Structure 1
Amino acid sequence: MGARLLVNIDFDDLPRATAFYTQALGLSIGRRFGDGGIELLGAEAPIYLLVKAAGSRACSASGETRRYERHWTPVHLDFVVDDLPSAIDRAMQAGAVIEDAMRTESWGRIAHFADPFGNGFCLLEFLNRGYDEIARAV
């Protein structure tokens, strides 16, 4: 059996994060975990919004602390949508900051964003055969 994927995103303002992700992406609340978290459903994996104070330690090994201004990480979320222009409008109305305008590639269209907490994410719409347009057999 392969691994199951759960997505966890830390925030310092759970009501604001919940409003953003439900409005911007059309996700719905599954379960609530007291004041400490909310499960969002509607993506291929559940997304857990977790309350973690700004400045708190991310983990003991790294010594890094949580910060909620724009930051870069090599891991980010891509949300596949059916209509990218409409999804861009919805995300921006919910408070997303567009960082790169929509561009078209042979596989589809993509736009880069930051959520109100500094987390980067992309919206993409597959065209034609999607990633198969650029994939090679291994």
Structure 2
Amino acid sequence: MLAALTRRGGTTVRCEVDGRKAGGGFLRIWATDAPAVAPRTALEGFANGTGDTVTGQQFRDVRAGGFDATEVTWLTSNPLSEEKARNWALAVQSAGQTLVFTVNEGLITERADVLPAYRLAAQGLAAAA
């Protein structure tokens, strides 16, 4: 069960920033299991790494702080609950590793509620000195 929560589409979760005191939701940072995976390839695997139906993937090259990055948005629909959700993720490469940043809803929030924190985190990315 733990593996289902911490591994997805060739990535493993490495960090989680919890926003419960601020109203819920959280950001997760995932690292690819293989080194130097192209950001778009990492995002394709990540988006398709669940049992949900994935549609409407839109990729764009962006600047995230000091990094060239790729961002994707997509829609998922869960076949059991028939719920649909918009998803966001951003991937960057640094020091031979590809990192994927994601938005996740909390118990009382939607993913869109956490989007401002996701945008702020992406803008603030910088290489460690």
TM range (shorter): 0.3 to 0.5
| Structure whose residues are more often strand by fraction | 2
TM-score when scaled to structure 1?
0.33
TM-score when scaled to structure 2?
0.34
Tell me which structure has the larger Cα radius of gyration.
1
